Amino acid sequence: MNRLKARLRPNRRARRPQRRRNGATAQPILKSPQEIRIMRESGRVVARVHAELRQAIKPGVSTWDLDQLAAETMQKLGARSCFLGYRGFPAHTCTSINEELVHGIPNKRRVLDAGDIISIDVGVFYRGFVGDSAWTYAVGEIAPETQQLMAVTEKSLYLGIEQAVSGQRVKDVSRAVQRYVEANGMHIVREYTGHGVGRAMHESPQVLNYVAGDADGELVMQPGLVFALEPMVQLGTRLTRTLKDEWTVISKDRSMTAHFEHTIAVTNNGPEILTLP
Ligand code: MG
Ligand code: MG
């Protein structure tokens, strides 16, 4: 029993969004135009799952209900969750409410209240390729500072995406996210990062949401590079901790948190968001 438990215990160093890594990394696997066509379909599946979730989010709904809806939608579209079974993760999506930043586990007893915000991370395998997108949703009316947190985090994602241009470096993306979030007096989580996406959920490079002088930040982007950018922002401080369930990451001071993520491709015509309807 203990041994089984030990085996199922998730590896803290390999969680999603990818935990920050130090040191050099492998060269990224560039995708052909044909592969990007498939990844666009995979991304569209993710967007459709989010569209269903957005409709269903309201007070009284449990995170379990939302996870079931996501699973049914994935199945209908011929996709499957990347998260289910990943290092023992027990659900199809991650559902994280309020101070929960990422990796919350859907639960029948966890019911949404008006004034909550919920971040849902959706990752699928479709025709051999991954699509990965997280979004934070308001449940009914929310406090103005929470609205502001969501708006700043979402905008930082798009400012980062704008920099995903061939010839620029990965750190140019990171810098754009960091500048905007910090100019608004909010805090970027350091321990979790964006990542290359392809046949595997986590590929090279690591894509930080701040500039840190890491080797991957120096990588010059070129057409065919596909990655997930995913700013994780907190109102109080940048510190996090992990709950006893060994998955759920919360802000250490329990301030509100937000998480927005798209999978994007660097193309000859600039950045393309793949996780769109
Ligand atoms: Mg991701
Ligand atoms: Mg994700």
CATH (domain of 44) = 3.90.230.10
Cα 277 to averaged position of ligand 1 atoms, centre (Å):
18
Task: Say if 19 falls within a structural domain.
Answer: no
- Beta-ladder partners of 126: 129
Task: Say if 17 falls within a structural domain.
Answer: no
Q: Which residues contact 34 (CB under 8 A, 6 or more apart)?
A: none
Cα 249 to averaged position of ligand 1 atoms, centre (Å):
15
Q: How many CB atoms lie within 10 A of CB 162?
A: 12
B/e letters for 234-247, b = 16+ CB within 10 Å, e = fewer, are bbeebebebeeebb
pLDDT on residue 18 = 62
- Segments in the chain below pLDDT 50: 1-16
Cα 17 to averaged position of ligand 1 atoms, centre (Å):
5
Cα 91 to averaged position of ligand 2 atoms, centre (Å):
14
Cα 252 to averaged position of ligand 2 atoms, centre (Å):
21
Cα 123 to averaged position of ligand 2 atoms, centre (Å):
6
Cα 122 to averaged position of ligand 2 atoms, centre (Å):
6
Residue 23 — left, alpha, or beta (φ > 0 → left; ψ -120 to 50 → alpha)?
Answer: left
Provide the residues around ligand 2 (an ion) whose CB is within 5 A: 121, 132, 134, 261
Task: Say if 13 falls within a structural domain.
Answer: no
The total domain count for the chain is 1
Instruction: Considering every ligand atom shown, identify the ligand nearest to the alpha carbon of residue 19 and give its number.
Output: 1
Cα 262 to averaged position of ligand 1 atoms, centre (Å):
8
pLDDT on residue 9 = 38
d(CA 55, CA 206): 33
Instruction: Considering every ligand atom shown, identify the ligand nearest to the alpha carbon of residue 194 and give its number.
Output: 1
Task: Say if 11 falls within a structural domain.
Answer: no
Cα 8 to averaged position of ligand 2 atoms, centre (Å):
21
* Residues of the domain holding 77: 27-273
Task: Say if 245 falls within a structural domain.
Answer: yes
Residue 185 — left, alpha, or beta (φ > 0 → left; ψ -120 to 50 → alpha)?
Answer: left
Task: Say if 234 falls within a structural domain.
Answer: yes
Cα 202 to averaged position of ligand 1 atoms, centre (Å):
8
pLDDT on residue 12 = 42
